Amino acid sequence: MRRPFQHLLTAALAVGLAAVAVPAPASADRADTASASAATGGGDRYKRVGYFIQWGVYGRNFHVKDVDTSGAAAKLTHINYAFGNVNAEGVCDSFDAWADWQRPVPAEQSVDGVADPAGQELNGNLNQLKKLKAKHPGLKVLISLGGWTGSKYFSDAVVTPESRARLAASCVDLWLKGDLTGQTAGTGAGVFDGIDLDWEWPGSDGAPGNVIRPEDRRNFTLFTAELRRQMKAFDARSELTAFLPAAAAKIDAGFEVREVFKLLDFATIQGYDLHGSWENRTGHNGNLFTDRRDPNPVKYSVDTTVRDYISRGAPARKIVVGVPAYGQGWTGVTSTGNGLWAPAAGPAPATWAPGTEDYKILVDKPGRRYRDLLTGANWLYDGNEFWSYDDPATLVEKAAYIRLKGLGGSMMWSLDQDDAKASLTSALYKVLR
């Protein structure tokens, strides 16, 4: 039987779908963007966070300027810049200083159309982010530390009071004070408004080779407290956030939820990779509600994760729900129906990595599309390949859920995967403002 809350959500979705499906006149779009730009920042009720990937300037050819020209920048409150590194010495450094602050950006890739002149110390993505903030007052930019392949040494770096203080000081110096390696002190000042912790995962498995300790759970809290203290000493306005996992087992292994949320301005929770091409049958990448047909012993959903955090002491208003701008895909899917929960041969071929594909590619991919409003899921099946991904209508449903549950907002991984019109970002903005 359909639950009352899902009745409300389905009604909200019906209204939202009309808003997404009917394009506004060009003049209305311009007015909408202008009002969004003026409102962006701390005054917004809902956080609208988007990740910008450092390496996107290479093969993906996605630049900070594209966040502006797509219209996304005007509809975001925060950009998380991914990633900063915690190295083997237990201090913050850059994964790629060339992309971050050394690469001279040509005029055609620059936010303001002006190339970086010879001899300028702050170039690269950081200078472009600074220009983007100047164009969109109130937009906040946070440096995100770690990530899937960058969390190996977090555990070592936070194991003692002295190491925690050292790591925190190095992060504040490099990213907030802007003391960029090899440059004049303060060169990067004013780019970042805070720090986002993306340790994947304290106390439990992440990428192969990560250092893991049972003490990680407590040490994460202690480091968060130390980092918060040093950040506030530098600038009381600086923000501290974290990216937290979906699985209850990982939550309990790595996070003292009630204590950690007291230290954070907000936390973004994993709302994707709930199933993926590492499994031998298809499933949902980021379903909103538990699928009644799910054959797995542990049944994941965004709603389950939200409930798990709230039951452990997280305030609803500080929970920001992560949504994907990409899909999970399988090939060799054998099914006489719609392909869901069917056996698969392996990851589907894709542009950048097997089994994952950008929304902007999937939206034009041939095949039959299916939607389950009660589950909050969308997928594509062509008789061989199966792709689970979010489209604007799915995100309207998720945004309506965020409003009805009194949550803090949305986060998208990642902005380069949206289309040139920022359709996914715009769908969230229509509801979360």
Question: pLDDT (tens digit, 9 = 90+) per residue, 141-172?
Answer: 999 999 999 999 999 999 999 999 999 999 99
Q: CB within 8 A of 7, min separation 6: which ones?
A: none
Quick one: pLDDT at residue 11? Answer: 52
Looking at residues 47-59, what average pLDDT do you find? 98
The pLDDT, as a whole number, for residue 39 is 39
Q: Rounded to the nearest 5 degrees, what angle is found at the Cα of 48, between the Cα atoms of 241 and 40? A: 105
According to DSSP, residue 192 is labeled -
pTM exceeds 0.85, yes or no: yes
Q: What is the pLDDT of residue 6?
A: 62
Of 186, 138, 195, 190, residue with least CA distance to 168: 195
pLDDT digit string, tens, across residues 179-233: 999 999 999 999 999 999 999 999 999 999 999 999 999 999 999 999 999 999 9
Task: Quote the percentage of the chain above a pLDDT of 70.
Answer: 90
C-alpha distances in Å from residue 360, one per residue of 129, 338, 424: 23, 22, 10
Cα separations in angstroms, 35 against 30, 46, 76, 433: 9, 15, 12, 11
Question: Of 89, 108, 200, 239, which is the active-site residue?
Answer: 200
Reply yes or no on whether 200 is catalytic.
yes
Q: Residue 316: which residues within 8 A CB-CB, separation 6 or more?
A: 306, 310, 405, 406, 407, 408
Amino acid identity at 94: S
Percent with pLDDT over 90 in the chain: 90
Per-residue pLDDT tens for 338-388? 999 999 999 999 999 999 999 999 999 999 999 999 999 999 999 999 999
3-state class of 369 per DSSP? strand
4 pLDDT band, cuts 50/70/90, is low
User: SS3 of 48, please?
Assistant: strand
Average pLDDT value for residue range 319-341? 98
- Residue 100 has a pLDDT of 98
- The full length of the chain comes to 433
Cβ atoms of residues 267 and 244 within 8 Å: yes
- pLDDT at 412 > cutoff 60: yes
H or E segment and range at residue 165: helix 161-171
Contacts of 203 (CB under 8 A, 6+ apart): 212, 213, 214, 216, 217, 250, 253, 254
Burial per residue of 249-279, b for 16 or more beta-carbon CB atoms within 10 angstroms, e otherwise:
ebbebbbbbeebbbbbbbbbbbbbbbbbbee
Residue 25 has pLDDT above 50, yes or no: no
Question: Looking at domain 44-325+391-431, which CATH architecture does it have?
Answer: Alpha-Beta Barrel (3.20)
Q: Span 243-270, mean pLDDT?
A: 98
Give domain limits for the chain: 44-325+391-431
Structure confidence by residue, pLDDT tens digits, 114-149: 999 999 999 999 999 999 999 999 999 999 999 999
Q: 20: pLDDT confidence band, cut at 50, 70 and 90?
A: very low
CA distances to 58, 60, 90, 107, 129 from 63, rounded to whole Å, are 9, 9, 30, 12, 10
Mean pLDDT of the chain: 93
The stretches of 214-288 forming alpha helices (DSSP H) are 216-234, 248-254, 257-263
Q: What is the reported pLDDT for 3?
A: 56
Q: Note the pLDDT of residue 44.
A: 83
The predicted structure's pLDDT at residue 7: 55
